[in-house]
Structure 1
Amino acid sequence: MERLIFTILYSVVLPIFVLIAVGSILQRVFQLDLYTLAKINFYCITPAAVFMSLYHSDMSAQLLGSVIFFYALYVLILYLLGSATSKIMGYTKGKKAAFNNSIMLDNSGNYGLPINDLVFKGDPLAASMQALIMSLQSLLTFTYGVISIQGSKLNGNYRTVIIGFLKMPVPYALLLGLLMHAFAIPLPVILSQPLTYAQQSMVAIALITLGAQIVKYPLRLYRKDIYLSMALRLFAGPAIGLLLIYVLDIHGIPAQALLIASAMPTGVNTSILAEEYRNEPDFAAQTVLVSTLVNVFTITAVIALSHHL
């Protein structure tokens, strides 16, 4: 167990925090344009990563359906918990949207993918499942995540919300990647190479952006809302995942991969969305940082638990 903890710290967590530190330093020195960085993530990097993940996916249709059903139930339960908490705490519409995003949108990409690779040593089935979870997360981010924020700011003018959603590139990238994979449509090098470059840049650009945002919005450890978000994300999340694994009777590598995927910290996209739509960006940046720090300990426990599934 001690060796596993050291490996996770050295191979996954520390590289992540190096990039966050780089972003913080760049922000202090150059005062980066965070709005432009969010646009780059929003309209270029994430769509490319989602498309390539689905295009190269390696899962059976049955397992694909099981993972999608698991994920739908998982985020629904988190939504209900987040909404109940927001009502009890008396949050505004904008704060409720930010709070629910912080517990429903996790870091399944730039944190989950390396964790998955470390635990399963590159197993193609486990890697494909994590890529699918990342794609579903991206779809959720740019559907519910965007619509909830826009709806809270537009006071129910959902025609404008729907038009805004239709302008988002990620759903189209997800659908296109899925269709091209299903029909085995070859991707020419003139397209595959730039998309691969964009996909490979996702981790660095997203984490550097987060580091810059953290400097802009200093850490405030006295905020109760941050700890409520962290508790639901890091403790309720894997508990729900474990319950659903037993209820749906999932076993082996799929069960282990889903449990570990349910234990990720709050996603960087939460902060990017908050910056993009100017909705509680301070709170969003805090939840990403705090949950990522605490996840060093919680993910180790979940990985150990997964070995018994």
Structure 2
Amino acid sequence: MIATILLEVVLPVFVLIAFGSLMQRLFQLDLYTLSKINFYFITPAAVFMSMYHSDMSGELLGTVCLFYGLYVLVLWVIGTVTGRLFKFESSMKAAFNNSIMLDNSGNYGMPINALVFKGDPLASSMQALIMSLQSLLTFTYGVIAIQGAKLKGNYRSMIIGFLKMPVPYALVLGLLLHILKAPLPLFVSQPLTYAQQSMVAIALLTLGAQIVKYPLKLYRLDVYVSMFLKLIIGPAIGCALVFALGLKGIPAQALLIASGMPTGVNTSILAEEYKNEPDFAAQTVLLSTLFNVITITGLITLAKAF
């Protein structure tokens, strides 16, 4: 089973990431444009179609939100305690918590979900919801934590930034049309389907191009601590919550796998934007993504038992 998962799920993901990295080395891709295509069209289209074709009940939607809320709360507590034990400065505490709470549920998690579950509507809609909740967390807690005292009570830029995100709108609209059973005309559904089908390749090529710009450094203990909490303790929390909430089958598998994503690229983007421990953030993104080859293989194998 492990060999099958490696060959059919993990290896295709990292082949595309590797090609993205190679293309960035050779051609110096326009990452700004690639990110905008992903962020404003391909990912919202995939989220919309996932929710539109969703088999997720209202009860399951609430359960996913509860799971995610408890998951990030436990990680926050662990991150805060760890920060005190290591006597981190306030800026490092914020960067450390972001590194374990903000994950790559979009341009990594969505493709993993699509490959594991072969495009199953229920699984993909759950991952789309997780990604939307992650976006909400990034542009609320993530921004506030980094800015800290520099925010000075001015939340205007944070609110505007969140309102500009297309993914939550796509999620709500897709869910609303699903509930109303409203048919989509072909000239709308077909382009969105094409965008959804392109998501795996484009998202992973972009991720490969993004992470290659970070120089690899292997001497920072705090990076390894973050990686351990993110890739080992995170899935352990996810597994405990799956049992606690009595989940089984695809919902249990999808949420367990979602809890094992590496640190999100947005962690590094926010750190660079606000000049808050950018080197630490970059290293957690790069190393957690590389080591995720091992952990996600084991996690998918474990999830198959549910």
**TM-score normalised by L of structure 2:** 0.82
CA distance 1:216–1:126, change in 2 (3 Å):
closer
Question: For 1:157, what is the secondary structure of its paired residue?
Answer: coil
Tell me which moved more, 175-184 or 152-161.
Answer: 152-161
Partner of 2:21: 24
Partner of 1:99: 96
CA distance 1:194–1:220, change in 2 (3 Å):
same
Tell me which moved more, 120-129 or 67-76.
Answer: 120-129
Which among 189, 194, 201 is matched to residue 192 of structure 1?
189
Which among 122, 129, 132 is matched to residue 129 of structure 2?
132
**Deviation for aligned residue 1:70:** 1.3
1:73 has 2:77 as partner: no
Tell me which moved more, 219-228 or 247-256.
Answer: 247-256
Which amino acid in 1 is paired with 2:247? I
CA distance 1:145–1:300, change in 2 (3 Å):
same
* Alpha-carbon distance in 1 for matches of 2:157, 2:194: 33
Where does structure 2 lack aligned partners over 5 or more consecutive residues?
none
CA distance 1:198–1:114, change in 2 (3 Å):
closer
| Equivalence map 1:87-236=2 (5 Å) | 87-91=84-88, 95-113=92-110, 115-116=112-113, 125-146=122-143, 148-149=145-146, 154-236=151-233
RMSD: 3.1
Question: For 2:212, what is the secondary structure of its paired residue?
Answer: helix
Tell me which moved more, 179-188 or 40-49.
Answer: 40-49
* Alpha-carbon distance in 2 for matches of 1:280, 1:193: 43
Q: Does the CA-based 8 Å contact 2:43-2:106 persist in structure 1?
A: no
* Alpha-carbon distance in 2 for matches of 1:198, 1:281: 32
CA deviation profile, 1:69-97 (whole Å, cap 9, x unmatched): 11111111112222333444455565444
* Alpha-carbon distance in 2 for matches of 1:73, 1:86: 20
**Deviation for aligned residue 1:230:** 1.0
* Alpha-carbon distance in 2 for matches of 1:274, 1:39: 19
Which among 241, 246, 263 is matched to residue 244 of structure 1?
241
Where does structure 1 lack aligned partners over 5 or more consecutive residues?
none
**Deviation for aligned residue 1:301:** 3.3
Q: Does the CA-based 8 Å contact 2:268-2:282 persist in structure 1?
A: yes
CA deviation profile, 1:101-132 (whole Å, cap 9, x unmatched): 33223334454455556655666544543443
* Alpha-carbon distance in 2 for matches of 1:45, 1:279: 30
**Deviation for aligned residue 1:196:** 2.7
Q: Does the CA-based 8 Å contact 2:139-2:158 persist in structure 1?
A: no
Question: For 1:216, what is the secondary structure of its paired residue?
Answer: coil
Tell me which moved more, 268-277 or 129-138.
Answer: 268-277
* Alpha-carbon distance in 1 for matches of 2:31, 2:274: 12
Q: Does the CA-based 8 Å contact 1:74-1:240 persist in structure 2?
A: yes
Q: Does the CA-based 8 Å contact 1:102-1:287 persist in structure 2?
A: yes
1:295 has 2:289 as partner: no
Q: After TM superposition, where is structure 1 displaced by more than 6 Å over at least 4 residues in a row?
A: 275-278
| Identical columns (%) | 74
* Alpha-carbon distance in 1 for matches of 2:34, 2:244: 42
Partner of 1:60: 57
CA distance 1:215–1:264, change in 2 (3 Å):
closer
**TM-score normalised by L of structure 1:** 0.82
Q: Does the CA-based 8 Å contact 2:53-2:121 persist in structure 1?
A: no
1:11 has 2:11 as partner: no
CA deviation profile, 1:46-74 (whole Å, cap 9, x unmatched): 32222222222111222222222111111
* Alpha-carbon distance in 2 for matches of 1:209, 1:115: 15
1:264 has 2:242 as partner: no
* Alpha-carbon distance in 2 for matches of 1:77, 1:231: 15
**Deviation for aligned residue 1:233:** 1.0
CA distance 1:107–1:159, change in 2 (3 Å):
closer
**Deviation for aligned residue 1:180:** 1.8
CA distance 1:292–1:8, change in 2 (3 Å):
farther
* Alpha-carbon distance in 2 for matches of 1:265, 1:68: 20
Tell me which moved more, 265-274 or 60-69.
Answer: 265-274
* Alpha-carbon distance in 2 for matches of 1:178, 1:276: 33
Question: For 1:221, what is the secondary structure of its paired residue?
Answer: coil
